[in-house]
Structure 1
Amino acid sequence: MSYDTTTPAPAVAPPLGVGMVGYAFMGQAHSQGWRTVGRVFDLPLSPAMAAVCGRDPEAVRTAAAKLGWAAAETDWRALIARPDVQLVDICTPGDSHAEIAVAALEAGKHVLCEKPLANTVAEAEAMAEAARAARARGQVAMVGFNYRRTPALALARRMVGEGRVGTLRHVRVTYLQDWLVDPDFPLAWRLRKEAAGSGALGDLGAHAIDLAQHLAGAPLTGVSAQTETFVRERPLPDGGALGPVTVDDAALFTGRLESGALASFEVSRVAAGRKNALRVELNGTAGSLAFDLERLNELEFHDHATDAAEAGFRRILVTEQEHPYLEAWWPPGHGLGYEHTFVHQARDLVRAVAAGTEPEPSFADGLQVQRVLAAVEESAEKNSVWTPVPVSPDTV
């Protein structure tokens, strides 16, 4: 069999050098996105995995080889300074987000930063201001709220925008895990406020808040909250002595959106039997939408105009090419998974870099989530008193 070799090869997109700081769970997920995105979607720029950074020289070299990075660095400043890095991806604990992101933006790099944006409102404000200044120089900055990129939730956002649920009345989000049920689980960095900022609230609640505001198309303007730490001491990672847990195990809060809709949230890392149970429901005057991450290829929709004899929630299998992100994937009925949200995240960011447009969610959106998190903590400290949330005009 012979082949015609006269057909010219397709044009190769210019490279976009990516450097990543951190290579644990989130670093692995982001690496999956960067490795895959150019092989699935047609992109205006070709992501090149230039270098990954970590403090342990041997461990970061091993991670680079395993995850597909061309080089390894042990100093994030050196990674930012590399001429083959145009975009810095931050997958470190929250206590280093602000320093790395601001330095990267000031060095002329684009930035992707894992959620929550920072550990404090002051840090998030500094990051948002640095991003605003960078926009004037043609740079972009995005927060990694990956669940927005689940096709079913992207479809839900589209349906809300099309008026399919009418005027929104209620938004309900729960996000439950059980990895801290065991009181002997060691005192990891996620259980220390100086590193993580908060516990289930920042880890899971940030996702819940972002989804509520994104799907509703409106920010939260106030909250009333309770938080609890059920296991107050845990073994230190090196064994032996116990150390204090300085973050929450669970948080419950209610809120009101700028649109007037009511919202409720429950997040926990001590909900026995729940592994990664994110559930979202929106109720409006014309219908309702419901989503369960453990069935992430499905969206439930109730059309309230349907005759009562046939009314009820129906399942939408979100695997059609007409659905968000699915034009490049598999035939209908062949579902996607958690890791695909990071591929979609990389796709959207690369397109924003190429077009010079503001990506979503922006650092301003991340700042708004941080303000809600701070208001939840303040309310809980003051016996659930209603606590307003300042709203910036350039968010949601």
Structure 2
Amino acid sequence: MTELGIAMIGHAFMGAAHSQAWRVAPHFFDLPVRPVMSVLCGRDADRAQAAAERLGWAEAVTDWKSVLERDDVHVVDICTPGDTHAEIAVAALEAGKHVLCEKPMANTVAEAVAMAEAAERAAQRGVRAMVGFSYRRVPALGLARDLVAQGRLGRIHHVRAQYLQDWIVDPAAPLSWRLDKEKAGSGALGDIGAHIVDATQFILGEKISEVMGTLVTFVPERPLASTHSGLSGTAATGQTGPVTVDDAALFLARFAGGALGSFEATRFANGRKNALRIEINGSAGSLAFDFEDMNVLQFFDGTEDAAVAGFRRIMVTEPEHPYVAAWWPAGHGLGYEHAFTHQAVDFVRAVAEGTDPAPSFADGLQVQRVLAGVEASSASGSWQQV
């Protein structure tokens, strides 16, 4: 095989990010097979066709099931709301298509279990599945993982993680599908909290084993709009509807290796646009990262002489750093979209080489269990085993 035909289901925010990745990946990375943007699928024919032309897809269709029957489609890329992930992913895997599915993998643990089991069965036939936790492909977080694996931080004591946004802090912001539990599964917890759960587990190479948390909805009713298809609606109707997900999530965690974690995910951090922050403290050093300065990793080496010790600002733009050699000269930073390109590269290579990509659907299920544990803890007020 020299080409890998891609069918992308959904074409909004994530669809645009994934499209850019598929377009760019073969031009900057040496890939064993070339991804081909064969077909885009959307519910509305006119909008899907316009998106296909704008984003670079060869054609557009409205029935996702039809792409599973096509010989020119080898990969199904799922960029739809969470309530559709399980049905599409399981059907695609059973049809022999490799699957890349956006996070969170599912809306419930039961759905995630079904997806993980389908992926396990498919793997026996050489069919691969991966979850789109793109932030683990940011070079600075890849370097963080490497430093932890090398023992540069010693024994890990503390993990602090935040994901702060403010896009719905205005109570007049209209209701959207992301605020509907049936479609989204959860609010800030699953949408952005899932990212910091995966990122911290990735960096430590350990799973979260226990959680205790609380969920809060600050604005329980929001204006209805004539369309609920995006982050914001249009043409307010004058009516309101209920917000059925959390606006913010706070939880404590214990990692399998003994580290303590504190996590915060909110869409009400006024002034914070996309602040994914992680700090890790160990017996021999510390790391700190903020996505709003995404090309930098702060590293403290606790073994240095106290007279000169301090956090070191590492510009993660050297060719020795993860993924960076394919891009620009040192000091020329990367952006949000590059993590999706790295994701596409890793997925294509795994499929071509017949290896299991990461994060797997089993990894996605683990994250789903953490999210479910936080929800259960918020309801019960007690620690929950993951």
Task: Identify the TM-score tier after normalising by the shorter chain.
Answer: over 0.9
Residue 354 of structure 2, aligned match among 349, 353, 356: 356
Aligned residue number for residue 272 of structure 1: 270
Of 108, 123, 127, the match for 1:135 = 123
- The 5-angstrom pairing of residues 1-396 of structure 1 reads 14-238=2-226, 239-383=237-381, 385-389=382-386
Tell me how far apart the structure 2 counterparts of residues 327 and 180 of structure 1 sit (CA, whole Å).
38
Q: Deviations over 1:165-203 (max 9, x none)?
A: 011111110000001111011110000000000000000
For structure 1, list consecutive stretches of 5 or more residues without a partner in the other structure. 1-12, 390-396
Alpha-carbon separation, structure 2, partners of 1:199 and 1:251: 9
Q: 1: CA distance between counterparts of 2:70 and 2:37?
A: 12
Q: Aligned partners of 2:239, 2:261: CA distance in 1, in Å?
A: 41
- Between the aligned partners of 1:181 and 1:167, the Cα distance in structure 2 is 39
Runs of 4+ residues over 2 Å off in structure 1: none
Question: In structure 2, what residue type is equivalent to 1:305?
Answer: T
Alignment partners' CA distance in 1, 2:185 and 2:309 = 45
Superposition TM-score, scaled by structure 2 size: 0.97
- Distance in 1 (CA, whole Å) between partners of 2:4 and 2:276 is 33
C-alpha RMSD over aligned residues: 0.7
SS at match of 1:169: strand
1:80 Cα offset (Å): 1.9
Residues 1-35 of structure 1, C-alpha deviation per residue, up to 9 Å, x if partnerless?
xxxxxxxxxxxx70000000000000000000000
Give the AA of the match of 2:150. E
Structure 2: distance between partners of 1:135 and 1:60: 31
Q: CA deviation at 1:234?
A: 0.4
Residue 278 of structure 2: SS of its match in structure 1? strand
The SS at the match of 2:336 is coil
CA displacement at 1:382 relative to structure 2: 1.1
Deviations 1:51-93 (A, max 9, x none): 0000000000000000000010101001222211100000000
TM-score, L = length of structure 1: 0.94
- Is the partner of 1:241 in helix, strand or coil? strand
**SS class of match (1:81):** coil
How many angstroms does 1:240 deviate by?
1.8
Amino acid at match of 2:245: V
How many residue pairs match? The answer is 376
Distance 2:182 2:255 in 1: 30
How big is the shift at 1:216? 1.1
Distance 2:86 2:328 in 1: 38
Specify the code of the residue in structure 2 equivalent to 1:375. G
> What SS does structure 2 have at the residue aligned with 1:339?
helix
How far apart, CA to CA, are the structure 1 residues paired with 2:133 and 2:176? 23
Gaps of 5+ in 2: 227-236
How far did 1:136 drift? 0.3
Q: CA deviation at 1:117?
A: 0.4
Shift of 1:236: 1.1
